[in-house]
Amino acid sequence: MSTLAAEFRNAYIHGSGPALATVFTPIATTNSPHRLSSFYDFTNAQYLTQDLASSLFHGKGLKVSKAEQTAWVNVFAAYWEAVGEVLKFEDGHSEASAAAIFKAWKKMAMALNKGYTDAGFPAWTLPCMYTVGKFLRTFAIKADNEAASQSSTTFGVLDDVAADVEKNAYLEDGARIINRMFTLCLTDRAPIEDSRKWGIYNITSLLFKTYFKINSVGLTKNLLRAINAQSHELPPLESFPKSHIVTFEYYIGVIHFLDENYTEAEKHLSTAWRMCHRQAIKNRELILMYLIPCHLVTTHTLPSKQLLASFPQLELFFRPLSNCIRKGDLVGFDAAMAAGEEEFVKRRIYLPLERGRDIALRNLFRKVFIAGGFEEPKEGQPPVRRSRIPVVEFAAALRIGTHATGRTRIDIDEVECLLSNLIYKGLMKGYIARERGFVVLSKNNAAFPGTGV
Amino acid sequence: MSSSIPPWRATASAPSTAGAFTTATPAYIPVQARRSLNHHNKSNPSTLNGAYQPAMSTTDTAQTRVEFSPAIRTYVQRCFAPENQIASVSTAEMQEKLREVITNAAKNDRLNAIDWERLQLPQIIIQNERNKILANPSVSSWAMSGQPASPGDASRKRKSTEHQQTEPDSPPWRKTNNRNRFEDRVTYPTTEKKSRMALDASSKSKANLEMRKKRFEGAGATYGNSATSSPQPEVDQGPVVGRCEKLEKNYFRLTSAPNPDTVRPLSVLKMTLDLLKKKWKKEGNYGYICDQFKSLRQDLTVQHIRDEFTVSVYEIHARIALEKGDLGEYNQCQTQLRVLYSQQLGGHPTEFKAYRILYFIYTRNWTAMNDALADVTAEDKKDPAVKHALNVRSALALGNYHRFFMLYLDTPNMGAYLMDMFVDRERLSALAAICRAYKPDVTIRFITEELGFESDEQTARFVIDHSSAELLEEKSGTVRLLTGKAGGLFEQAKAEAHRVVDIKGQI
Amino acid sequence: MSNSTPQGKANASEQPQQQQKPQVLEEDDEFEDFPVEDWDQEEAEQSATNEGNDHLWEESWDDDDAAEDFSKQLKEELKKVEASA
């Protein structure tokens, strides 16, 4: 009997979803390098269903309804085909293709979904659904890459020459199946203790990932709407496993982030950050990749040295920017943005990071304020900073901040514009008295709110 | 209580946190060679015959004098094995499909070439065909790909023009002279009509066989051929060669394959473009021009013409749409141009990359903006128009209205048409900031200069339109804007103006 | 596929396609499956032993660098501005 069949029986007898998911993981492991090939070789197309039926369900200890048995045999039969394609691919067979793997795997995913709708697969098997969905996505991406490397451009639509749609054809196809899984989880009417609703966040995250990949972030909104409409029937988010919560919160955070809704994004990303397993370095790094720009925009704070120290990539991205912001070095800031531009744009953090320039500018002008010293001391009064500052002093600071050369003319109107912006954004408190040519700043340590002066 | 844990953890014996993702560690159990599995030898010759007879009765195989190999017999046996039956596929359907499979194999001399052991059972083939349709409702458009339609297929209802279309391209197995000896000798006991249908259907199943052949036999066929099985419907019909000589043509959305009689070839389309350019200059009838350009684009598409001329058609249409403020149409052209430029077909990519950036400023689509930025190469940045658009973007991102309006007054190409779409919006943003920052007032002259107005009158009118005349006051010969009294007026007007931009043709 | 003009075709096939539309997030930006499904808060980023976010974020300004220097620099620069204005 095949090892996989034994694993299946074992998982089923114990009702262990994770163990069942392992059965449907189409990867040979170091411990068991032949698990796939031995499964594939244990039967052939001719005897497939018979062999499966007998090895999966004959014998003691397993009580499964006839319908469910048939459904599992169908899933395994499709799995067997898919494994055949995987093995062929790994062998470098001339007929092997990622597309063939995807197609076979898709059949399997459909057989599995059918098991849930028609044959009453129990909810404890959900990890298996996730695993099958996850690999469906993986294989679809591979198939799309393969197609992209092979095909020339095709003409998709009738009215216009260029269609951009075919590039993710396999993944879009896969997304439909995963979306089906989403519905299967969300709309399950079984009592909550045996409900597929427990799979909802995991599958949703998988679908998010998939929509991100096909550049259809907009579709994630539909999922959220559907979940919200059902929320009263879902178990509270806290009662889900942390891996589900963290992944879900991360994606919700990123979705808000892409909408430039940084306050909301920060909330979800912070939750993800706090709950994330400490050893999941890659995931922690990803959370911070978005959380750091959020913090910059919403609270004007920068990542600490300790925080960046454990993440070399983040250190590279954010350290130079942070230093320039802190010093009020506009030229350095612009250079760091330009140097990182490609990566920042790729990761979609360019636009929020760009806003850091305002903070750098604030810091530069703040130095002007501090350099201005104090008013003539009055008897018995604590010293008060000079609060009327000529606009030309800010202009001079800008020349320093932008490393202006001797000849560069400073446009006072532009200096005023920058000042007016900082005031408008609440980074500076006071007003511009244009005719008199100076800025009147707030006294009582409120000129640059939150910075102690 | 039980509702607070997921069901896969509910059972006591299930590992609580042992992950679904811990690597699989199945113990290796040696497997018997497949052919020695006992129960496979239980087959009973009588079942074999019994199964075999109904399957073959319609084709009357006895008269074909073809000897079926044991492999085929076993295959047939499997078809009828009770455990292989699928509820949704009737025995009759299965038999019909089985007959097709064998007839086709025989017809093509492939009876011995097929790996019967691995060949899908007819019921599975049927089910897969159905699944394909279920999974992809639009699959009926496959009928347009020039493949023969099976009986009952939706495509039969299509207009005859389509069949004309596909005729020259019809696959080899449809051509009458392609039938081989075996088929000629097969006597179909059914009516003529029935046999024709069978022929059609079997051609299709031959295509299936071909695919499987490639999959399992390593015959060296190239993978590219199996493109017909890609998950998306094949809308691609192969290029049409037009033969319409008329220069002008109204636009109709295509609902079926294009008729070459109404499609203009490239030589004609080039004259069409010249005509349209002249007409636009002379008459400026946008409705007419837009319609004509759409039909021009369509003719290019159906003929798969994708070259420098195509680019110029889209560019000209885009510019005209810009000029008329038809951003929906402009955006369609822009989307196409982006793909065309990526193929290096010439044209004016930097001019349009600049428009694209300005366009996304207007629509405030930051995701798309990010894409547009990603499209800009270091080389592009040297181009004045691209540089200008990038500067406009960053000036706005940082709230630098001073710089923004300087750039506005110095916009290359047709970018001003786009900037005009959002310049008032940005004036309101700037006024909101100015009113917050300046006390107690500023001269109207300052606003005029700073916000790119043409005259103080225009400025005053703008202020009155968006806030209140109370904010203007004449003091010793100059009109002043009482910034200190503006309160939230411009803030409101700004919020109003920044509501979601609604453009036809945009989601 | 096919282009009506030979030059067009040559162009299309010779020039490698570049500037593929960037994905929303790249492959290496992908959130990974956790090796375990659940864990105690003790093992999480913020636990009793790893308390608070205080050390994570820093203020975005600093007063460390010599204010004196800047003051001097500013005066120098001011002369230039006043000269050019």
Query: Do B86 and B162 sit in the same domain of this protein?
Result: yes
Contact B106, B148 (CB under 8 A): no
Residue B212 pLDDT exceeds 70: no
Whole-number pLDDT of residue C84 = 64
Instruction: Tell me: do A210 and A331 sit in the same domain.
Output: no
Say if the Cβ atoms of A47 and B18 lie within 8 Å. Answer: no
pLDDT of residue B503: 55
Please count the other Cβ atoms lying within 10 Å of the Cβ belonging to residue A236: 9
B119 in the same domain as B108: yes
Q: Decide: C63 and A294 in contact? Cβ < 8 Å.
A: no
List the single best residue of A200, A219, A255, A420 to mutate versus B (max B Cβ within 10 A).
A420
Quote the domain boundaries for residue A431. 365-441
A280 has a chain B CB within 8 A of its CB: no
Subunits touching C (CB < 8 Å, at least 3 pairs)?
A: A, B
- Specify the pLDDT at position B125: 75
Tell me the average pLDDT of chain B: 71
pLDDT value for A216: 85
Q: How far apart are CA A3 and CA B32, in angstroms?
A: 12
- CA-based nearest residue to A230, from A254, A204, A210: A204
**pLDDT of A320 strictly over 70:** yes
What's the sign of the alpha-carbon dihedral C9, C13, C18, C19?
positive
A45 vs chain B: nearest CA distance in angstroms? Answer: 5
Q: Which two tokens stand for residue A339?
A: 């140097």
Instruction: Identify the pLDDT of residue B390.
Output: 97
In a domain, B311, yes or no: yes
Within this chain, do residues A31 and A44 fall inside the same structural domain, yes or no? yes
Residues A59 and A115 in one domain: yes
Model-level pTM greater than 0.90?
no
Chain A with chain B: Cβ pairs closer than 8 A: 304
Q: H/E/C letters for each residue in A35-76? A: HHHHHHHCCCCCCHHHHHHHHHHCCCCCCCCHHHHHHHHHHH
Q: At B38, list the tokens.
A: 């006992």
Q: Name the residue facing A22 among B20, B232, B294 (closest C-beta).
A: B20
Residue A422: which CATH number? 1.10.10.10
Q: Hey, what's the torsion of the CAs at B388, B389, B395, B401, to 10 degrees?
A: 80
Count of domains forming chain B: 3
Residue A214 lies in a domain: yes
The SS3 of residue A392 is helix
> Smallest Cβ distance to B371: which of C1, C2, C22?
C22
Domain boundary among A309, A326, A354: A354
Alpha helices in B57-138 (DSSP H): 70-80, 91-107, 122-135
B259 or A448: whose pLDDT is higher? A448
**In the listed set A212, A236, A260, which residue is the last one of a domain according to the structure?**
A236
Distance CA A414, CA A344 (A): 28
A447 within a domain of the structure (yes/no):
no
Confidence at residue A175, expressed as pLDDT on a 0 to 100 scale? 96
Q: Identify whether residues B355 and B366 lie together within a single domain.
A: yes
Q: State the pLDDT at residue A47.
A: 85
Q: In the structure, what pLDDT confidence band is assigned to residue A113 with cuts at 50, 70 and 90?
A: very high
How much is the pLDDT for A251? 97
Query: Which phi and psi angles does B189 have, rounded to 5°?
Result: -75, -5
Query: Would an 8 Å CB–CB cutoff place A355 in contact with chain C?
Result: no
- The residues with which A380 forms a beta bridge, in sequence order, are none
| Domain identity same for A44 and A60 | yes
Residue B47, domain member (yes or no): yes
- Same-domain pairing of B70 and B210: yes
The predicted model gives A139-145 an average pLDDT of 93
In a domain, B272, yes or no: yes
The larger pLDDT score, comparing residue B291 to residue C3, is at B291
**B274 pLDDT higher than 60:** yes
Q: What integer pLDDT is reported at residue A161 of this predicted model?
A: 60
Q: What is the per-residue pLDDT across B313-360, written as a single tens digit (0 to 9) for each?
A: 999 999 999 999 999 999 999 999 998 998 889 999 999 999 999 999
Position A360 in a domain: no
Please identify, among A320, A354, A388, the residue that sits at the C-terminal boundary of a domain. A354
pLDDT tens digits, A391-411: 999 999 998 877 776 666 678
Do the chains contact at A246 and C34, CB–CB below 8 Å? yes
Closest residue in C to B307 (Cα) is C8
> Which of A135, A302, A329 best probes binding to C when mutated, by most C CB atoms within 10 angstroms?
A302
Q: To the nearest whole number, what is the mean pLDDT of chain A?
A: 90
What six digits make up the tokens of B119? 């060949």
Q: Of B292, B286, B280, B281, nearest to B247 (Cα)?
A: B292
- B416 and B450 in a single domain? The answer is no
* Digit-coded pLDDT (tens) for A332-364: 999 999 999 999 999 999 999 999 999 999 999
**What is the structure's pLDDT at B8?**
75
**In this structure, are B351 and B426 located in the same domain?**
no
CATH number, position B443: 1.10.10
Q: Is the pLDDT of residue B39 over 60?
A: no
Structure tokens at B269: 């389309």
Does residue C2 have a pLDDT over 50? no
Residues A320 and A226 in one domain: no
What the block records as the tokens of B445 is 């002259």
Same domain, A145 and A162: yes
Q: Which residue has the tokens 């640059």?
A: A448
* Weakest mean pLDDT among B14-23, B115-124, B171-180, B424-433: B171-180
Residue A152 with chain C: CB contacts under 8 Å: 1, 12-13
Is A195 in the same domain as A285? no
- To the nearest whole percent, how much of chain B has pLDDT over 70? 63
Long-range CB contacts for residues A409-416, cutoff 8 Å, separation at least 24: A409/C84, A410/C81, A410/C84, A410/C85, A411/B402, A412/C85, A413/B402, A413/B449, A413/B450, A414/B400, A414/B402, A414/B403, A415/A391, A416/A391, A416/B402
A118 touching chain B per CB within 8 A: no
What pLDDT was estimated at residue B53? 39
Do A414 and B404 contact (CB within 8 A), yes or no?
no
N- to C-terminal Cα separation, chain B: 45
Query: In whole angstroms, what is the distance from residue B343 CA to residue B301 CA?
Result: 16
Mean pLDDT of B480-488: 90
Cβ of B20 within 8 Å of Cβ of A235? The answer is no
Residue B209, pLDDT > 50, answer no
Domain-ending residue, one of B187, B212, B229: B229
Q: Looking at beta carbons, which residues of chain C come within 8 Å of A270? A: 53
Please list every residue in chain C whose beta carbon sits closer than 8 Å to the beta carbon of residue B343.
11-12, 15, 17
Whether the predicted pLDDT of B169 surpasses 50:
no
Contacts of A357 in chain B (CB under 8 A): 398
Residue B214 and residue A24: Cα distance in Å, rounded? 27
Q: Long-range contacts: B265-271, Cβ < 8 Å, 24+?
A: B265/B241, B265/B303, B265/C4, B266/B303, B266/B305, B266/B309, B266/C4, B266/C5, B268/B242, B268/B244, B269/B296, B269/B299, B269/B300, B269/B305, B269/B309, B269/B313, B270/B309, B271/B247
Indicate the residue type of B156.
R
Do residues A75 and A169 both lie within one domain? yes
Helix (H) or strand (E) holding B234: none
User: With 50 as the cut, is the pLDDT of residue B140 above it?
Assistant: no
Distance CA B397, CA B400 (A): 8
**Residue with structure tokens 């019809």?**
B170
3-state secondary structure of A88: helix
- State the helix-helix crossing angle for A391-401 and C67-84, rounded to 10 degrees: 110
Please list every residue in chain C whose beta carbon sits closer than 8 Å to the beta carbon of residue A167. Answer: 20-21
CATH number for B406:
1.25.40.990
The answer to whether residue A96 is domain-embedded is yes
Question: What's the pLDDT at B501?
Answer: 64
Residue type, B294: K
CA B468 to chain centre: 50
Residue A156 maps to a domain: yes
Q: A395 and A373 in one domain?
A: yes
Summarised one tens digit per residue, pLDDT across range B53-74 is 334 444 443 444 556 777 788 8
CB–CB of B20 and A151 under 8 A?
Answer: no
Please check whether residues B459 and B386 belong to one and the same domain.
no
pLDDT of B406 strictly over 80: yes
Domain of B349? 260-421
The answer to whether residue A91 neighbours chain B at the CB level (below 8 Å) is no
Chains near B (3 or more Cβ pairs under 8 Å):
A, C
Nearest to A95 by CA among B371, B224, B161: B224
Number of domains in chain A: 3
Q: Which residues contact A149 (CB under 8 A, 6 or more apart)?
A: none
B59, B193: one domain: yes
- Percent of chain B exceeding pLDDT 90 equals 38
Q: What's the rounded Cα separation, in Å, for the pair A398 and A404?
A: 8
Does residue B239 sit within a domain? no
Query: Contact A227/A205 with Cβ under 8 angstroms?
Result: no
**Residue B88: its pLDDT value, please?**
67
Is A340 among the domain residues? yes
The residues in A 110-169 lying below 8 A from C, measured between CB atoms, are 127, 134, 141, 152-155, 164, 167
As to burial, measured by CB atoms within 10 angstroms (0-12 exposed, 13-18 middle, 19+ buried), residue A263 is exposed
Examine residue A148 and state whether it is found in any structural domain, yes or no.
yes
pLDDT of residue B72: 81
Same domain for B392 and B355:
yes
Nearest CA in chain B to A432: B438
Same domain, B385 and B492: no
Q: Look at the alpha carbons of A169, A170, A171, A174 in this order and tell me if their dihedral is positive or negative.
A: positive
Lowest mean pLDDT among A30-34, A235-239, A313-317, B234-238: B234-238
Helix pair angle (A356-371, A391-401), 10° resolution: 120
**Is residue B347 one of the residues assigned to a domain?**
yes
Taking alpha carbons only, the member of A270, A171, A183, A194 closest to residue A223 is A183
Query: B458: part of which helix (H) or strand (E)?
Result: helix B456-466
Chain B closest CA to A239's CA: distance in Å? 6
B240: Cα within 13 Å, side-chain hemisphere? 26
- Residue of B238, B307, B342 lying closest to C18 (CB–CB): B342
pLDDT value of residue B126: 73
Q: Which residues of C touch B344 (CB under 8 A)?
A: 11, 15, 18
When comparing pLDDT for A140 and A380, which is higher? A140
In the predicted model, is pLDDT for residue C23 greater than 90? no
Give pLDDT tens digits for A418-451. Answer: 999 999 999 999 999 999 999 999 988 889 998 8
Return the beta strands (E) in B382-445 as ranges: 442-443
Checking if the pLDDT of B369 tops 80, the result is yes
- The confidence score (pLDDT) of residue B165 equals 36
- Whole-angstrom Cα distance, residue A303 to residue A226? 36
Q: In this structure, what token pair is assigned to residue B168?
A: 């020259």
For A197-232, the DSSP string reads: GGGHHHHHHHHHHHHHHTT-THHHHHHHHHHHHHGG
The verdict on residue B273 lying in a domain is: yes
State whether A249 and A231 are in the same domain: no
Tokens of B450: 């700073």
Distance CA A200, CA A126 (A): 10
Both A401 and A257 in one domain: the answer is: no
B412 and B440 fall within a common domain: no
Q: Which residue has the higher pLDDT, B444 or A1?
A: B444
Q: Could you tell me if B285 and B303 lie in one domain?
A: yes
What is the C-alpha separation between A17 and A9, in angstroms, rounded? 12
Percent of chain A with pLDDT over 70: 95
Question: Which of B108 and A367 is assigned the larger pLDDT?
Answer: A367
Q: Residue A138, exposed/middle/buried by CB under 10 A (0-12, 13-18, 19+)?
A: middle
Q: Cβ of B371 and C21 within 8 Å?
A: yes
- The answer to whether the CB atoms of A209 and C30 lie below 8 A apart is yes
Tell me which residue in B22, B239, B265 faces C2 most closely, judged by beta carbons.
B239
Query: B438: which DSSP letter?
Result: B
At A237-288, the pLDDT tens digits run 999 999 999 999 999 999 999 988 999 999 999 999 999 999 999 999 999 9
The residue that leads in pLDDT, A43 or B143, is A43
Looking at the structure, do residues A421 and A334 belong to the same domain, yes or no? no
- Which residues lie closer than 8 Å to A436 by C-beta, 6 or more apart? none
Quick check: is A449 in a domain?
A: no
* Contact (CB, 8 A) for A412 and C85: yes
Q: What distance in Å separates residue C1's CA from the closest CA in chain B?
A: 8
The pLDDT value recorded for residue A355 is: 95
